[in-house]
């Protein structure tokens, strides 16, 4: 019975892309059920390089108005405090409470190891809340540690153990990782201290989508959350790619919407970042279908990685 129910839930999520208009679940309402049974919104709002109270308040106001309910931050983004303060002010405006939104933050590479628990406590405090919904190891390596040094794997194992404790103590509802390759995940799953990673947040877009990683994540019930879906700040190679532009024209959508829908249609989570109202709104307005032939075209590009690369971290 439970298995049957799970199959139903899974197929309901998978069917979203192909439903008839009347039954369509809007992108803002699409969720993924993690192993904790928490429903994580598939579309979230990225906040890298969005700093300063006025700017944060302004973009979060627009994001909440547009229907975003997941906010992605990290200690290294240096905006946790401003996000906490802005949410205190904005949630009542939208009749929302803490439990209506999802906050993800991340363990900085310089807290990797014994400091991980304290770092989680500090992030929760900066965000002016009692818990975060998801805490990720930002990077498989440790600060100032040579990539080939086996201390990297020892320290991130130590981090994980303390994050498991953080779940038990109610500081975070879920734990996961970011920028992990298959081999990093294999190491973690061999010694997960009782909780497996719920999410792996990685660079993922038509120019860079290592399928072995997705396959491994799916097999192990780890949700892949794509970052830099638009190519990242200051990079227009992806958004101006002629193949993307052509498909966007054909479908009457923007290139950004095509790039985001491409990921969503494969049941991946996304966290686009934007500042303008227009971009913020269109990045969650994703209820259209990319035909199979265009999906194939978007999947056929050569590898071109734009963000930091964990390949050398042991």
Ligand X SMILES: *[C@@H]1O[C@H](CO)[C@@H](O)[C@H](O)[C@H]1NC(C)=O
Ligand Y SMILES: NC(=O)c1ccc[n+]([C@@H]2O[C@H](COP(=O)([O-])OP(=O)(O)OC[C@H]3O[C@@H](n4cnc5c(N)ncnc54)[C@H](OP(=O)(O)O)[C@@H]3O)[C@@H](O)[C@H]2O)c1
Contact 134, 174 (CB under 8 A): yes
CB-based contacts of 251, cutoff 8 Å, min separation 6: 258, 288, 290, 294
Please count the residues of this chain forming the interface with ligand Y, following the rule CB under 6 A.
28
CB-based contacts of 14, cutoff 8 Å, min separation 6: 267
**Per-residue contact string for residues 201-230; x = within reach of ligand X by CB under 6 A:** ------------------------------
| CA distances to 42, 46, 111, 139, 183 from 226, in Å | 10, 11, 24, 15, 19
Site membership for ligand X, residue 312 (CB under 6 A) = no
When CB distances are held under 5 to 8 angstroms depending on the partner's kind, the choice from ligand X, ligand Y, none that residue 273 binds is ligand Y
Q: Helix-strand-coil percent breakdown of the chain, rounded to 5?
A: 45, 15, 40
H/E element holding 177?
A: strand 172-178
When CB distances are held under 5 to 8 angstroms depending on the partner's kind, the choice from ligand Y, ligand X, none that residue 274 binds is ligand Y
Q: How far is residue 183's CA from residue 262's CA, in Å, rounded to a whole number?
A: 26
Q: How far is the CB of 274 from ligand Y (least distance, A)?
A: 4
Window 83 to 102, contacts with ligand X (CB under 6 A): 94-95
Site membership for ligand Y, residue 233 (CB under 6 A) = yes
Window 246 to 285, contacts with ligand Y (CB under 6 A): 254, 256, 271-276, 279, 282-283
Residues found near ligand X in the complex (CB under 6 A): 94-95, 146, 148-149, 151
Binding-site residues, please? Answer: 138
Residues found near ligand Y in the complex (CB under 6 A): 46-48, 72, 138, 178-179, 201, 227-233, 239, 254, 256, 271-276, 279, 282-283, 307
């Amino acid at each position: 019975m439970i298995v049957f129910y799970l199959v139903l839930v899974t197929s309901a999520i998978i069917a979203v892309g192909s439903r008839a208009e009347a039954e369509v679940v809007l992108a803002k309402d699409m969720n993924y059920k993690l192993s904790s049974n928490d429903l994580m919104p598939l579309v979230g709002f990225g906040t890298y390089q969005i700093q300063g109270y006025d700017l944060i308040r302004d973009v979060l106001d627009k994001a909440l108005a547009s229907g975003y309910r997941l906010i992605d931050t990290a200690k290294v983004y240096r905006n946790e405090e401003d996000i906490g303060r802005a949410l205190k002010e904005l949630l009542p405006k939208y009749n929302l409470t803490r439990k209506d939104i999802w906050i993800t933050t991340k363990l900085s590479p310089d807290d990797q190891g014994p400091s991980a628990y304290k770092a989680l406590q500090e992030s929760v405090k900066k965000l002016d809340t009692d818990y975060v919904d998801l805490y990720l190891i930002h990077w498989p390596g440790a600060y100032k540690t040579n990539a080939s040094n086996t201390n990297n794997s020892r320290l991130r194992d130590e981090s994980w153990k303390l994050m498991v404790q953080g779940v038990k103590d109610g500081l975070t509802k879920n734990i996961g990782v970011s920028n992990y390759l298959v081999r990093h995940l294999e190491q973690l799953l061999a010694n997960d201290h009782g909780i497996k990673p719920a999410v792996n947040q990685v660079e993922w877009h038509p120019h860079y989508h290592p399928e072995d990683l997705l396959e491994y994540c799916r097999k192990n019930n780890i949700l892949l959350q794509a970052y830099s879906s638009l190519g990242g700040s200051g990079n227009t190679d992806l958004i101006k790619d002629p193949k993307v532009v052509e498909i966007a024209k054909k479908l009457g959508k923007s290139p950004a919407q095509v790039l985001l829908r491409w990921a969503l249609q494969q049941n991946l989570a996304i966290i686009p970042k934007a500042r303008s109202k227009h971009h913020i709104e269109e990045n969650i307005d994703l209820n259209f279908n990319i035909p199979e032939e265009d999906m194939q075209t978007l999947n056929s590009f050569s590898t071109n990685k734009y963000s930091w690369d964990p390949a050398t971290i042991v």
